[in-house]
A and B are shown apart, each in its own frame.
Chain A
Amino acid sequence: DIQMTQSPSSLSASVGDRVTITCRASQSISIYLNWYQQKPGKAPKVLIYAASTLQSGVPSRFSGSGSGTDFTLTISSLQPEDFATYYCQQSYRALRTFGQGTRVEIK
């Protein structure tokens, strides 16, 4: 199975901060990498797919980059509604795997 490792596991940030979350795959997955946001009590929702394609309706302050094994999710200016947990997920293999999540908290 492909292992996905996110860092950090949690971070504290202020409104307006630039936030970067990284995700590393245990083998090359090309651009088969997706990012999800999950708020408490809600199902995850996709933010970015294919490493850098913004899902329709997602604010442009979210962006993704990377290919191969190293990927990044960036929030250019953190907003109050962005405090949540973020997960990366690979779809290179049929056996899909998620990163362990990054919890973004208010400083």
Chain B
Amino acid sequence: EVQLVESGGAVVQPGGSLRLSCAASGFTFEEYGMHWVRQTPGRGLEWVSLISWNGGTIYYADSVKGRFAISRDNNKNSLYLEMNSLRNEDTALYYCVKEQVGGVPYFGYWGQGTLVTVSS
């Protein structure tokens, strides 16, 4: 059974930093691209970042580019999101998502999310 378990969410002040982690199990982690997707009540679902299976290809949404860094450790079956210069608008539930590829890529499995609150 595929499991994705996020951790690291917290309350942080504007300008602060946070590192999110996602522990993956139930599949061969090193074979799959992984994403972070966030959700806020006001803005719905927002894709944040993608990392390829080997970490060689990385993309970011414009809203986080230059502030967030995605990484992975295939030896530890783990995905990370380093978040710097946090803003109020980064407040969201952050999901770790496994990509399914077999033609058209789609988000096949989601974690339960970890909550990040940016507030003074």
A positions within 8 Å CB-CB of B: 1, 31-34, 36, 38, 43-46, 49-51, 53, 87, 89, 91, 94-101
Contacts A43-B95, A95-B59 given; indicate if A87 touches B45 (C-beta within 8 A).
yes
The reply to whether B62 and A87 contact each other, CB–CB distance below 8 Å, is no
Majority SS at the chain B contact face = strand
Contacts A1-B62, A43-B95 given; indicate if A96 touches B110 (C-beta within 8 A).
no
Asked if B56 is at the interface (CB within 8 A of a chain A CB), the reply is no
The reply to whether A44 and B104 contact each other, CB–CB distance below 8 Å, is no
Please give, as numbers and ranges, the residues of chain B lying within 8 Å of A87 by CB-CB distance. 44-45
Most chain B CB inside 10 Å of its own CB: which residue of A31, A50, A99: A50
On chain B, which size bracket covers the interface? 20 to 34
B positions within 8 Å CB-CB of A: 35, 44-47, 50, 57, 59, 61-62, 95, 100, 103-108, 110-113
Q: How far is the CB of B107 from chain A (nearest CB, A)?
A: 6
Most chain B CB inside 10 Å of its own CB: which residue of A1, A32, A91: A91
User: Can you pick out 24 interface pairs between chain A and chain B where the beta carbons lie within 8 Å of each other?
Assistant: A1-B62, A34-B104, A34-B106, A34-B107, A36-B107, A38-B45, A43-B110, A43-B111, A43-B113, A45-B110, A46-B106, A46-B108, A49-B104, A50-B103, A50-B104, A89-B106, A94-B57, A95-B59, A95-B61, A96-B47, A96-B50, A98-B47, A99-B44, A100-B44
